Amino acid sequence: MSSSKTFASQADLEAKKVSFTKLSENAYAYTAEGDPNTGVIVGDDAVMVIDTQATPVMAQDVIRRIREVTDKPIKYVVLSHYHAVRVLGASGYEPEQIIASRDTFDLIVERGEQDKASEIGRFPRLFQAVESVPPGMTWPTITFSGRMSLWLGKLEVQLIQLGRGHTKGDTVAWLPEQKILFSGDLVEFDATPYAGDAYFSDWPQTLDNIAAMQPRALVPGRGAALTTPEQVAAGLKGTRDFIRDVYASVQAGVAAGQDLNAVYKATLSQLKPKYGHWVIFDHCMPFDVTRAFDEATAYRDPRIWTAERDVEMWKALEG
């Protein structure tokens, strides 16, 4: 890194404490104090993992937890979206199938390589033993559009696209009989939503679509598992409020003719009192405001982040 100002995340080096929380006879949440979560579904004849951790070596810790509760084979890996920190551990599970939405597949084709380089550069701590990641991309072996069901024996798991939000391809996993939902990064809890590849105008409606399913428990992308309907509602509200507050502030700045730098400073100072205590707040805000500014001006779809664009943006806003 030639820049004198590094990303906020590059100074974030403290290891987090992992929890493996049982939500039902079939559902578990692997969470780590705001680091990326992994969902686990144990069916009659197989195990499904939802989001993989960032590297195959990190996946081994998830497998260790799974082996404490079942010896059934891990057949399925579901990618809730394309971000490297969610997918690059996939090979560690040696799954039979890797499942993602067609929209997520398209994003891997379009921007997977750039995203991988950019994410590893932004947040080295999250890519423990990064040398264990195989070269190239993690390719889904099954894609779907809209909705699909898998039966792990008698247990139905639905994979559903409820709308755009964190990315174009967001997929939730849903246990309809138990009303347990794995949201990926569509919902965060006590953690700042990353919105650098987001659709701000669509995200609140997608959260309303989750709420309409009335989950009794929800595993967010980051933060503790939400184990009661009240906690689920709080997680949905916190995420929705943050996305709306960022976008409202950016839209107001754009309407007043301000440039990105001015909009960033105003939005940061407006949001810090309410959300500044959430993990990765300082890391996410420059990316989130830049994307919101793009969406409010010229770019309906998120522009591709590259390692170079990351550094330029950071220098412009934080340098």
Q: Which residues bind Zn ion (CB under 5 A)?
A: 83, 185
Q: Can you tell me the distance from the alpha carbon of 304 to that of 24, in angstroms, rounded to the nearest whole number?
A: 39
Angle, helices 260-275/281-296, rounded to nearest 10 degrees: 130
Q: Which residue lies nearest Zn ion, judged by its C-beta? A: 83
With CA atoms as reference, report the closest residue to 119 among 10, 239, 220, 193: 10
Least distance CB 257 / Zn ion (angstroms): 32
Please give the span between the terminal C-alpha atoms of the chain, in angstroms, as a whole number.
Answer: 14
Residues 6+ apart with CB under 8 A from 284: 192, 193, 194, 195, 196
Least distance CB 54 / Zn ion (angstroms): 11
Least distance CB 169 / Zn ion (angstroms): 10
Q: Identity (one letter) of the amino acid at 54? A: A
Decide: helix, strand or coil at residue 59.
helix
With CA atoms as reference, report the closest residue to 151 among 62, 26, 64: 26
Instruction: Tell me whether residue 85 or residue 236 sits nearer to Zn ion (CB atom).
Output: 85
Least distance CB 284 / Zn ion (angstroms): 11
Instruction: Tell me whether residue 266 or residue 307 sits nearer to Zn ion (CB atom).
Output: 307
Instruction: Tell me whether residue 56 or residue 165 sits nearer to Zn ion (CB atom).
Output: 165
Taking the alpha carbons of 12, 17, 21, 26 in that order, is the dihedral positive or negative?
A: positive
Instruction: Tell me whether residue 75 or residue 166 sits nearer to Zn ion (CB atom).
Output: 166
Helix (H) or strand (E) holding 289, with range, is: helix 281-296
Largest CA distance in the chain: 60
Cα within 13 Å of Cα(78), Cβ side: 29
Instruction: Tell me whether residue 76 or residue 123 sits nearer to Zn ion (CB atom).
Output: 123
Structure tokens at 317: 């806003």
Q: Can you tell me the distance from the alpha carbon of 10 to that of 88, in angstroms, rounded to the nearest whole number?
A: 19
Least distance CB 176 / Zn ion (angstroms): 25
Q: What are phi and psi of 167, to 5 degrees?
A: -145, 180
Least distance CB 157 / Zn ion (angstroms): 21
Least distance CB 72 / Zn ion (angstroms): 28
Instruction: Tell me whether residue 185 or residue 310 sits nearer to Zn ion (CB atom).
Output: 185
Least distance CB 28 / Zn ion (angstroms): 21
Instruction: Tell me whether residue 75 or residue 122 sits nearer to Zn ion (CB atom).
Output: 122
Instruction: Tell me whether residue 82 or residue 144 sits nearer to Zn ion (CB atom).
Output: 82
